[in-house]
Structure 1
Amino acid sequence: MKFEAKHLFILLLLLSVVIQCAFGNFPFAFFAFPLDALIALLWIAGMVYAYKENRSSRFVQMWLSPQCTYWTLGWLIAGSLVIGLFPQLSAAEAAERSGLLARLGCYHFTTSWIFVVGLFALLTHLGMITLRRGFRPGRNRWRFILNHAGLWLALFAGVVGSAEEQTLRIPVFRDRPNNEAVSEEGAKIYLPKELQLNNFTVEHYANGTPRHFFAEISIDGKPARLEVNHPYAANWAEDYYLTSYDVQSEQPRYCVVQIVREPLKYVMWLGVVMMLCGGCLLFLAGPNRQNKELCETSR
């Protein structure tokens, strides 16, 4: 019996289920930045080598086949249905669940081996067809490359980045500096920098309810201004949000700052921008001339 794409994906699905039941969810913490970026570069280099040197092999042709498209998209749609049908909990809450569905990672599905292997298959297929079009001449190949390579970056950074995303909350006091934050799971985390409240201003409506408020804080002596929905970018991967404050005092003694760490957010934005550029080229260049001629010939 000839080994086909369906056999490959059935094997990958069964293997991911076995690993999920045996070892639990995928260890994203081990593959944190910058290791994930290095793996992505090696992955892309491997696809380029496989296509350039072994494009005629049965294995490479399977990743380029239409059947691979059906299987990878079907896997992604099924995974999206699981995420929509089952409540997605934090890692700590999901670990407390029992039963077959919990063993399969349905309550924290984006970090399950089943979802990760399916995403790996989709990105491999997407990368291979992008390379195939990139190595072929043609006036419209750049719009194809921008759309598909942008989608590759957005999917990779969106899923891997969300798994690495960390959200912390820290009370920032007026009378003393503080570096003790709390994670979403309730764990204490000591920041390498101290935060202190310098000034807090609240603007009210005529009836006395708060209309707008902002805080001026210091981060290791460096001044920063925080407003609601206007985060302060401490660096390229870390943003500070003002979430609440001491409403019991006329002059708030503290405010609460939320720290969001997203190492790959700009990579995801780059992917989105690439897709927008590809869409603009698609609009400006019009339909593919070869396809247009085929349509006219078939009349």
Structure 2
Amino acid sequence: MKEGFLIGAGVVAAGLVLQLSVGRVVWNTFAWPVNGFVLVGFFALIAIVSLLGRRFYVCQFIGSNRAAIPALFYAVVLTIVMGLVRQDGSGSWFSDMLSFWPFVLIYVYIALILGLVIIRRSLRFRWRRDIPFMLNHLGLFLAMTTATLGNADMQRLKMVTTVDEPEWRALASGGAIVEMPIAIELKRFIMETYDDGSPRRFASDVQILTKSGKRIQTTVDVNKPVKVDGWKIYQYGYDTQMGAMSQISILELVNDPWLPLVYLGIYMMLGGAVFMFVLGERRKRI
């Protein structure tokens, strides 16, 4: 365990050196196809470390519980810090933990440990005993890696729509104008209020035009996004001065092409939990 904590501390220290020397992690540099090459390279690293495990003690050690438990400890501590500090990217290290090198490297280290454990278990795989284990660990590995690398490809844009005026341009967080593959025309802004006049519900009746020429009439409501051609369209805001008479509606458009893989990993973990329950019940009966 002492070795595991020392290695974990070394990973955190390496992250601090990177944070001080090159600044925060710039995820945009990992956009496709770079993240694809990184993922392939990471798989190759896991395979190499696994092959060297018989010759080098450190490679064998990394895939053991003595490395995993301390790594999880550091990950939990950093995750708690992320939960306690508001993540608004205000400039401090802890306000943007997803771009904080020690946080990122610790989770990369955990993914490496997971990969090694999966390979070693698969070499002595037994169906009934190892199906829950493999589903849980493969699911966690898939969710972690794709969520991290897919972060570079996720687009979160704002579109200001006006009644009876089709709009195909959206704004990125930095203020850049992005031409969209879909056009949205606001037909009617909807607002329902409480007795005191405060908004109870607001939504937008819109017409969406796709590249294929398809016209979609739908309503975008708060917490009820509309899915079109890989984009999720959320109700975001409106002209607060006009209130129910607002002639504009602000929509948020989100595209995350890696999200299905993240969901697949989550479903695999759920499947592993179900298998553990079923097999556990059978053993009790026996």
User: Do both proteins adopt the same fold according to a TM-score greater than 0.5, normalized to the shorter chain?
Assistant: yes
Normalised by the size of structure 2, how large is the TM-score?
A: 0.82
Q: Distance in 2 between matches of 1:107 and 1:210?
A: 32
Q: Name the structure 2 match of 1:235.
A: 229
Q: Report the alpha carbon displacement of residue 13 of structure 1 after superposing the two structures with TM.
A: 2.3
Query: Where does structure 2 lack aligned partners over 5 or more consecutive residues?
Result: none
Match of 1:135 among 110, 116, 123: 123
Q: How does 1:91-240 map to 2 (within 5 A)?
A: 93-94=90-91, 102=92, 105-138=93-126, 139-162=128-151, 164-185=153-174, 187-193=175-181, 195-197=183-185, 199-200=187-188, 202=190, 213-220=203-210, 222-224=214-216, 225-228=218-221, 229-236=223-230, 238-240=231-233
1:226–1:242 contact (8 Å) kept in structure 2: no
Match of 1:263 among 248, 253, 257: 257
Q: Deviation string for 1:136-159 (max 9, x for gaps)?
A: 132311210100110112222334
Q: Distance in 1 between matches of 2:215 and 2:239?
A: 20
Q: Deviation string for 1:89-138 (max 9, x for gaps)?
A: 13xx32xxxxxxx3xx2221111111111111111011111111111132
Q: Distance in 2 between matches of 1:24 and 1:269?
A: 31
Q: Deviation string for 1:3-37 (max 9, x for gaps)?
A: 94444333322221111111111121111234223
Query: Where does structure 1 lack aligned partners over 5 or more consecutive residues?
Result: 95-101, 293-299
Q: Name the structure 1 match of 2:28.
A: 29
Q: Report the alpha carbon displacement of residue 287 of structure 1 after superposing the two structures with TM.
A: 7.6
Q: Report the alpha carbon displacement of residue 214 of structure 1 after superposing the two structures with TM.
A: 3.9
Deviates more, 1:161-170 or 1:243-252: 243-252
For 1:50, the aligned partner's letter is V
RMSD: 3.1
- How many residues matched? 274
* CA 1:172–1:198: 2 relative to 1, 3 Å: closer
Q: Name the structure 1 match of 2:272.
A: 278
For 1:132, the aligned partner's letter is R
Q: Name the structure 2 match of 1:81.
A: 80
Normalised by the size of structure 1, how large is the TM-score?
A: 0.79
Q: Distance in 1 between matches of 2:61 and 2:194?
A: 68
2:163–2:188 contact (8 Å) kept in structure 1: no
For 1:270, the aligned partner's letter is L
Q: Distance in 2 between matches of 1:281 and 1:64?
A: 24
* CA 1:177–1:86: 2 relative to 1, 3 Å: same
SS of match in other structure, 2:79: helix
* CA 1:288–1:121: 2 relative to 1, 3 Å: farther
Q: Distance in 2 between matches of 1:235 and 1:34?
A: 21
Q: Deviation string for 1:250-274 (max 9, x for gaps)?
A: 8753322111122321111001100
SS of match in other structure, 1:216: strand
